[in-house]
Chain A
Amino acid sequence: MYVAVKGGETAIAEAHRLLADRRRGPRDLPSLTLAQIAGQLALAVDRVMAEASLYDPTLAALAVKQARGDMIEAIFLLRAYRTTLPRLAISQPLETAAMQIERRVSATYKDLPGGQLLGPTFDYTHRLLDPALAEAGDEAADVAAATRRPSSGERVMRVSDILDGEGLVEGDGHFGADHVAGDITREPLEFPMPRDTRLQVLARGDEGFLLSLAYSTQRGYARTHPFVGEIRIGLVEVEIDLPELGFAVSLGRLRITECQMVNQFKGSAKEPPQFTRGYGLVFGQSERKAMAMSLVDRALRAGEFGEDIVAPAQDQEFVLSHADNVQATGFVEHLKLPHYVDFQAELDLVRRMRADYEAKRADEASDEDAITSEAAQ
């Protein structure tokens, strides 16, 4: 019989106190400021914003600090905070073509309008640990300021527009005039899910999960034969309509990463041979995620192109139901919470089954004994 019990309040309070102590770390070291986290661990902050689906660098830095650097915990904190705020507006679609560019590369064209702009990239570094960064103290003076070179002022043309000029690539992706963009923060996931809603799920999906799925498509589980048409990172304006005034105003700018993946397509009876595309758009500087997203976006379009659905990355329900790491961690981690009653019930059941089993075996054994002794006689 199970008797309901209470307890643990003191233990929980002390555990939280211990957590605060461990989070603070050695007291002879200064506490991290949010400005330091946002300024020097900027890509961690970007990831938290992207997967929490809430852009706010200061709050994301707070979440990283509070979570002791545990990214999924930080994402959870920011996602939970999001639910406390009312929605005041819906922005006009971002104009990524008008981005203030910080990085732009194309793997399909060497010379293209605007050029290859490497920006602050890890690419081409040797991935050797740098002892200079391990030195304590104020090294600000030692890090040279960025070089400046007059900008060409050339318009940084979207690669999809270049390809579009030849008619060799499919368009950006449109719906009928009456289509309303789905919103997974308001409606539960339903399958099959239209592409706009899928992109919302992918944009806040777990980077590791999407990366592995994207990798699986490259290894042959839904081959998409991709080329990076373009990756661009930079600042875009967020504009909203002010109905009381009758015009749109800018709320400021945010940093995003966009990936245009160009994929092969043979053509069909209806469509001439042309390249197909996958699209990735992510908050912050997050190239790996944007690339993975665009590969998975393309793989999920299998049905649209009449491709056989044979691999996990092509399976909408599998991909989209498991991409959210807040949901995933909630369900996996809940297993550590008290399941005393459930387990006791199962324990009791297994004990009874075991007793039956033992009794049956004992019966069989005695029957056999009887047969053996009969035979001996």
Chain B
Amino acid sequence: MDKPQPRTAFAPAKEPDTAQDAQAARRKRAMDSLARSDRGRLEAFLAREAADLEVHAVRGPETGLVMVRGRIGGGGAPFNLGEATMSRATIRLADGTIGHGQLLGSDRAHARLAAIIDALGQRADYAAQVNALVSAIEADLTAADERLAEETAATRVDFFTMVRGED
């Protein structure tokens, strides 16, 4: 793809206009979910779908830092808020497909599993299974978000006006 398309909450990724963009959007969606998934789920998926896969490490897995930025006033100039740990891995499958995995925290094994599944998602013979996994993870994340939103909504203040005596 030609230009990066950073996603923000109010500007969802624009409609893909080429097959390549659609592929990139699908891959990003998968990577986002794999980063937030429970690691056990990724282990179970690989054990079930691709038990004897040949995987070569290209980079990592390694743990390092990501400098997290904020914006002055919430929407102004960027500033460096502080760092967070992150782990990442890049792997190559026997057929040459490259996969990347990255997430917050120190779980290098998780990063490697995510990289393997990212690579599988690019292969026609695994794309459907990976899509199903991603959809299942997304459903769980959405349910967790809804739960959080509803628990928070229960603490919303309902103001009411007292009836004044003279009225």
Residues of chain A having any CB pair with chain B under 8 Å: 50, 53-56, 58-59, 82, 85-98, 100-103, 110-111, 115-120, 146-152, 158, 160, 171-175, 179, 181-185, 195-197, 199-200, 203-204, 235, 238-242, 244-254, 256, 258, 260, 277, 279, 281, 283
Contacts and interface: CB of A to CB of B under 8 A. Distances in A.
B67 A183 contact: yes
A245 B102 CA distance: 13
B81 A148 contact: no
A254 B83 CA distance: 11
A89 B67 contact: yes
B80 A96 contact: no
Nearest to A250: B32
Contacts of A279: 72-74
A252 B156 contact: no
A185 B81 CA distance: 11
Contacts of A256: 70, 81
B4 interface: yes
B73 A160 contact: yes
Contact of B4 (A148, A172, A247): A247
Nearest to B31: A249
Contacts, number: 251
Nearest to A153: B149
A143 B150 CA distance: 18
B148 to A, nearest CB: 6
Contacts of B31: 249-250
Contact of B65 (A88, A103, A239, A249): A88
Contacts of A59: 85, 106
Contacts of B105: 56, 58, 252
Contacts of B3: 246
B15 to A, nearest CB: 15
The secondary-structure label for the interface of chain B is: mixed
6 contacts: A86-B64, A151-B152, A172-B73, A239-B6, A249-B35, A279-B73
B75 interface: yes
Contacts of A86: 64-65
Interface size class of B (residues with CB under 8 A): 35 or more
A149 B104 contact: no
B20 to A, nearest CB: 10
A195 B148 contact: no
Choose among A85, A111, A204 the residue with the greatest number of B CB atoms under 10 Å from its CB: A85
B82 interface: yes
Contact of B79 (A101, A147, A197): A197
B24 interface: yes
B155 A181 contact: no
Interface string B121-133: 0000000000000
Contact of B77 (A175, A184, A248): A175
B155 A119 contact: yes
B150 A252 contact: no
Contact of A160 (B32, B74, B152): B74
B9 A98 contact: yes
A97 B86 contact: no
B5 interface: yes
